[in-house]
Structure formats: C-alpha cells, structure tokens
Amino acid sequence: MPLTEPNRGHDQVFSEGEGMSVVMNRRHKLVTIHQGGRTWTEMFDRQVDPHEITSLAGDPDHAEVERDLRGQMAEALLDTAMP
C-alpha cells in the first residue's frame, strides 16, 4: 500500500539508521545524512518527483515545508533518544 494513498497508513513516518534520519508525510520526505564528517539534508516532493531526483532542501519556495519537517524530525529524535 503506498503511503500516499488517501486515508490509509500513517500521516507521518520516522526512521533512523546508521548515518541517516528520515521523516516523511504523505507528500514530502526529508533526509538528513551524516557521512565522512559531513552532514547534509535532502528534501523531496514525492508527488511531483516520485523518484526523488531533485532535492528541494534550501529552496526558499519550500522553506515552510522544510521547517515543519525539521521540527517533526527533531521531535521524533527526542522521543526515541536513549536515556
């Protein structure tokens, strides 16, 4: 079942793995990558760009969405942090 199917699945999904954190909602996906001492972020509009080719991270036209997803990611990281 695709995440984008209306009224099905979760409104938001968070995942964390070695060197990467991901948060996505029904439309957008934000990925933070930590590799080789560098950290960068990629963001995709999965409806417009389902193959995730063009990152919208840092694009002023998508700043509000990116800010919201970053907040959701920070919240999820705090919720899942080990004591």
Q: What CATH number does residue 54 fall under?
A: 3.30.1120.10
Domain for residue 5, yes or no?
no
Q: Determine the Cα–Cα distance for residues 22 and 46; give it in Å rounded to an integer.
A: 14
Domain for residue 7, yes or no?
no
Domain for residue 1, yes or no?
no
pLDDT above 90 coverage of the chain, percent: 63
Domain for residue 59, yes or no?
yes
- Domain carrying residue 68: 12-80
Per residue in 2-24, pLDDT (tens digit) is: 555 556 666 778 888 889 999 99
CB within 8 Å of 27: residues ≥ 6 apart: 4, 45, 46, 47
Give the chain's domain count: 1
Domain for residue 3, yes or no?
no
> Which amino acid makes up residue 75?
E
Domain for residue 47, yes or no?
yes
pLDDT above 70 coverage of the chain, percent: 84
Per residue in 14-66, pLDDT (tens digit) is: 888 889 999 999 999 999 999 999 999 999 999 999 999 999 999 999 999 99
